[in-house]
Amino acid sequence: MYFNMEYKISAPEKIVSAIKLPSSKSISNRALILNSLSDSPFPIKNLSDCDDTEVMIAAFNNEDSNLIDIEASGTAMRFLTAFYSRIPGERILTGTKRMKERPINILVNALNGMGARIDYLEMPGFPPIKIKGSALNGGELFLSGSVSSQFISAILLIAPITEKGLVMHLQDDIISVPYINMTLKMMEEYGVKSIWKDNVITVYAQEYIPTEYTVEADWTAASYWYEIAAISNEAEIKLEGLFEQSVQGDAKVAELFLDLGIETIHENGYTILRKTNRITKKFFHNFANEPDLAQTLAVTCCMMGIPFLFMGLQSLKIKETDRIEALKVELRKLGYVLYDSRNDTLEWNGERCLPEASPVISTYEDHRMAMAFAPAAIKMKDLRIAHPNVVTKSYPQYWADLKKAGFNIVEENS
């Protein structure tokens, strides 16, 4: 899927830049579903141009074939599985080799229990799947809150157009709560009300109302600029497009980086990152609500020499790659020895090993591996990133923005 090349990266002594961040793909992909379900005549403003959103748009525009290839987009696979289970017609959803290794049985079982007709075409429990769209009963549904929040959001998005509406009982510990809140808040903006009390979400049968919608910039993309500011000796960074009052859980990044020497100032439409002297001796955090920030914070802490203990990482093993294992392998190349336990905990206690002379960071078809490790070039000489085009999944202009900030990026064949 991605070109066979590497980027050799070196960083400037001082980083001064103003960056227009990409639109949020999480919001964009939800808005596409909601726009369709509401039969909205309004085009979505500031829609993301990333791969994950492009495959969603292509799916909606696909009138010539019932085969839909969502490539590496987990969001598209989950949201479209639920969406097409309710839309008349027969469709096949498939994706990359890695996508065929990412389990979807929890979502399929839940939807089939509501009256959907979804079959596996290869390995039971995994894509590709065949969906025959039909009316769905809705009713009561019991689902573990410890699974991917995308499963929960996918079902919630179609809940109001089921015959009985939906009463969703979330069992166990609920992870990624902000993403579920994002879904419910966006549904409300399209006219659908819900009730979330304790571990029960109730969505009555009702109609979506068309609305004009503008997508805000991506706080997860902002995290890499927080990382750059924290690692750098000197940095003045202004970010454009972020909402201070955001529906995105990853807006938490502003609070997390306070302990890593970065304060956030919202001024004249910009989010300004400034360095301070407030540096923690050890970084502790439970990432259950912000799993996509874990890679950024792991690399940041190592580059700053700050030991850390991360918890709540259980969803990282079913992302684009096993992100816990990937972090251990790639940070060892840079001289940092990490340990994991219980499938949800990652720790660096300060242990070092001999770094590779010219490390090449493998990206595992995972955009966040590339973007989290590239700033390490501020501290590591001769750093290379393999298959750098993976960033198009969420932040297509990432490398161009790094160059704008003064990074030198040289393309090499691997």
Residue positions annotated with a catalytic role = 292
Which residues, at least 6 apart from 79, have a Cβ–Cβ distance to it below 8 Å? 29, 30, 33, 56, 150, 153, 154, 157
Separation of alpha carbons 170 and 164, rounded Å: 18
171: part of which helix (H) or strand (E)? strand 166-171
Give the Cβ contact number of residue 204 at 10 Å: 16
Q: What is the DSSP secondary-structure string of 236-272?
A: EEEEES--SS-S-GGGGHHHHGGGEEEEEEEETTEEE
Buried/exposed 276-310: b ≥16 CB within 10 Å, e otherwise: eeeeeeebebebbbbbbbbbbbbbbbbbbebbbeb
Say which residue the tokens 């919630």 belong to.
156
8 A C-beta contact, residue 183 and residue 157: yes
